[in-house]
Amino acid sequence: MSWQTKVPLIAILRGITPDEAEAHVGALIDAGFDAIEIPLNSPEWGKSIGAMVKTFGDKALIGAGTVLNPAQVDELATLNSKLVVTPNTDAAVIRQAVAKGMIVAAGCATATEAFTALQAGAQALKIFPSSAFGPGYIKALKAVLPPEVPVFAVGGVTPENLHEFMAAGCIGAGLGSDLYRAGQPLSRTVEQARAFIAAYKDAVR
């Protein structure tokens, strides 16, 4: 198992609107991001995801977050969404997304959830909420997981602490409110995107 993009950082654009999506996603890709998640609790998410897949699908892995049921997976498949990120471990959602040829980063917190996700076919794991558990917990969990499984830290990851989660064994992270908050100016997205890319490069040196 290996992660499908060059940079294992997933940009989480929770709350983005269809009108804003192109400018922010374009800026993220220009900064070096190649995995974009638009959570399904964002306004008119189908419109945003469909448009972003058409515009940037050849440059980045684009898809959805907060995917909670198989019906949503079916809808995403019609939009050619390639990425499914879940907040929880739901085997039915994972199996459906894998059957549709999507990459799944499944949300989990415990060893039981992690192995349930892997048995259902998830190609990557998202430890959520990472900041509540801390890097030490992730390191301990990594000790029992198959070493080839890509693990992402999600929740509370900043440019300042990204290296701690990577040192604990994460391949990278999903970046939410520290990268993008609904309604923020494009300049803030550009600034934070650059900060995260720089922090990632420092961490892998």
pLDDT in tens, 24-70: 999 999 999 999 999 999 999 999 999 999 999 999 999 999 999 99
Question: For position 2, what pLDDT does the model report?
Answer: 82
For strand 9-12 and strand 83-85, is the pairing parallel, antiparallel, or unpaired? Answer: unpaired
83 neighbors 64 (Cβ within 8 angstroms): yes
The answer to whether 100 is a known catalytic residue is no
20 is catalytic: no
The 10s digit of each residue's pLDDT in 141-184 is: 999 999 999 999 999 999 999 999 999 999 999 999 999 999 99
Q: What is the pLDDT of residue 204?
A: 96
How far apart CA 116 and CA 193 sit, in angstroms, is 33
Q: Which of 44, 82, 100, 126 is catalytic?
A: 126
Q: What are the residue boundaries of the structural domains of the chain, listed by start?
A: 9-204
The residue annotated as part of the active site, out of 20, 37, 142, 164, is 37
C-beta of residue 11 within 8 angstroms of C-beta of residue 180: yes
For residue 150, the SS3 value is coil
CATH class of the domain comprising 9-204: alpha beta
pLDDT tens digits for range 67-94: 999 999 999 999 999 999 999 999 999 9
**145: helix, coil or strand?**
coil
